[in-house]
Amino acid sequence: MAMLEIKDLEVFYGVIQAIKGVSFEVGEGEVIALIGANGAGKTTILHTITGLIQAKSGHVFFEGQEITKLPGHKIVSKGIAHVPEGRRVFADLTVLENLKLGAYTRKDKKEIEESLEMIYKRFPRLKERRGQLAGTLSGGEQQMLAMGRALMSRPRIILMDEPSMGLSPIFVNEIFDIIQEVSKGGTTVLLVEQNAKKALSIADRAYVLETGKITLSGDAKELMNDESVKKAYLGE
């Protein structure tokens, strides 16, 4: 059984149909990449999964349970974390305060402290800057903070929206290394990413989205060698 299953999803913005009958699944432990041009509907799909947008029709199942109509906070408490596009850290709070907000669904103080230590081990820079205001961090550090905050909820699956956007090449490599580590640590990853080459290089499988429809899917390495994918997304 798939951990996350999307079935016949249709989403509208007013009269404009953004998502046209999309179906796909994410198995436990997989890294799945959703690639496509700007405006293809990738972010809309993530927002629908996490309850930020209501689907017009179709279904979202998580671990066999339908979550299509659940409010966002209930979806988070089931073990789904979302790292939104543009990072969205709380600029006027410290790094530590941002991280603690990620654990708001958890009660056990000792476990929260253990998670903090784990995050600091994975992101040494966040430990160095834990007393600093999040708004004073560089773009790459803010992206690390957004990822760390999502991981503080101990999610079963993490949805990442354009994690490499606007980052320098050095930080892009670092962020992708971290995504692989997160996956090796047992967290399933659904990755939306403009940098198709990077996304396909770390994903198990991938889906190509064009104007609200899935046009191609398969093994990520195979898609990397697909002529149409090379031409459209890999700049070859």
Q: What are the strands, taking DSSP E only, across 80-178?
A: 80-83, 157-161
Please, are residues 157 and 101 in contact by the beta-carbon 8 Å criterion? Answer: no
Which of these CATH numbers, 2.60.40.10, 3.40.50.300, 1.10.1020.10, 3.40.390.10, describes 4-84+148-233?
3.40.50.300
Indicate whether 206 pLDDT > 70.
yes
Indicate whether 236 pLDDT > 80.
no
Specify the pLDDT at position 233: 87
Specify the pLDDT at position 38: 86
Indicate whether 231 pLDDT > 80.
yes
Whole-model pTM: value is 0.92
Angle at 177 between CA 176 and CA 182, to 5 degrees: 95
pLDDT, the chain, mean: 93
Q: Percent of the chain having pLDDT more than 90?
A: 80
Q: Phi, psi at residue 199, to the nearest 5°?
A: -60, -45
Average pLDDT over residues 181-195: 93
Q: Percent of the chain having pLDDT more than 70?
A: 100
- pLDDT tens figures, 75-126: 988 999 999 887 789 999 999 999 999 988 788 889 999 999 999 998 999 9
Amino acid at 8: D
Alpha-carbon span 161 to 53, nearest angstrom:
15
Query: What 3-state DSSP class applies to 195?
Result: coil
Specify the pLDDT at position 194: 87
CA separation (Å) from 112 to 87, 102, 104, 109, 154? 22, 10, 10, 5, 9
Specify the pLDDT at position 85: 87
Specify the pLDDT at position 105: 77
Specify the pLDDT at position 1: 74
Indicate whether 204 pLDDT > 90.
yes
Specify the pLDDT at position 54: 94
Sign of CA dihedral 231, 205, 52, 136: negative
Average pLDDT over residues 211-225: 95
Alpha-carbon span 83 to 192, nearest angstrom:
10
Average pLDDT over residues 186-203: 94
Average pLDDT over residues 1-16: 94
Average pLDDT over residues 50-66: 95
Confidence at 146, pLDDT banded by 50, 70, 90: very high
